[in-house]
Amino acid sequence: MAEYNLWHEFKKGLWQEIPPFRIALGMCPALAVTNSATNGIAMGLATFFVLLCANISVSAIRKIVPSQVRIATYVVIIALYVTVADMFLAAMFPPISKALGPYVPLIVVNCIILGRAEGFAQKHPIVPSIMDALGIGIGFTLSLALMGSIRELLGFGSILDIKLLGNWFEPWIIMILPAGAFFVFGFLVAIVNYLSSKKPAETHGH
């Protein structure tokens, strides 16, 4: 266990490999449900939960799953946790569940979760897999919260339903339409690329 730099496994999901800006996975929910900060955070947390549980499970059974059927096995495992998340949201937060619609069940085919299972959890012990899921999951949640906040601020003049901009502000309807998601996503990718190209030393540190 000592050979793993747990802090690094955690930290990489927050900047170096932050989805969906650095690793362009999970773009479907990032574009589809970020029309408000609440929806973005809820989607991010649901994905986070599924990712964490899936990484632990996949890592735990990594030595007994035949490689020929591994993808199918992972999908079944992920589907289990997605069902849990879906039912939890429907029971506890019906309005959010309604707003997210089919995108919660669609976490099953979210590339981030399958990507981390295939790319990390199946090769590493449980503890580093947990750190990996924590980093990527928090990174994804923060990304969706940021996109949702920007779109809600410009499209409604509020964040988390708190009115921030006064009546002088004429909302940009386009920001809560799908086209606005692409604008915001493109801008954020550009900003992230610009920042990481400026200080390459820091991203490769430690």
Binding site for other proteins (CB under 8 A): 170, 172-175, 177, 179, 183
Considering beta carbons, is residue 7 or 187 the nearer one to other proteins? 187
Helix (H, G, I), strand (E, B) or coil at 162: strand
Alpha-carbon distance 122 to 21, whole Å? 24
Q: How far is the CB of 203 from other proteins (least distance, A)?
A: 22
Total residue length of the chain: 206
Q: How far is the CB of 186 from other proteins (least distance, A)?
A: 9
Considering beta carbons, is residue 24 or 173 the nearer one to other proteins? 173
Considering beta carbons, is residue 127 or 174 the nearer one to other proteins? 174
Q: How far is the CB of 99 from other proteins (least distance, A)?
A: 21
Alpha-carbon distance 102 to 45, whole Å? 16
Burial of 136 (0-12, 13-18, 19+ CB in 10 A): buried
Q: How far is the CB of 181 from other proteins (least distance, A)?
A: 12
Q: How far is the CB of 165 from other proteins (least distance, A)?
A: 13
Alpha-carbon distance 82 to 75, whole Å? 10
Considering beta carbons, is residue 76 or 179 the nearer one to other proteins? 179
Considering beta carbons, is residue 101 or 178 the nearer one to other proteins? 178
Alpha-carbon distance 39 to 141, whole Å? 11
The region, left, alpha or beta by phi > 0 then psi within -120 to 50, assigned to residue 170 is beta
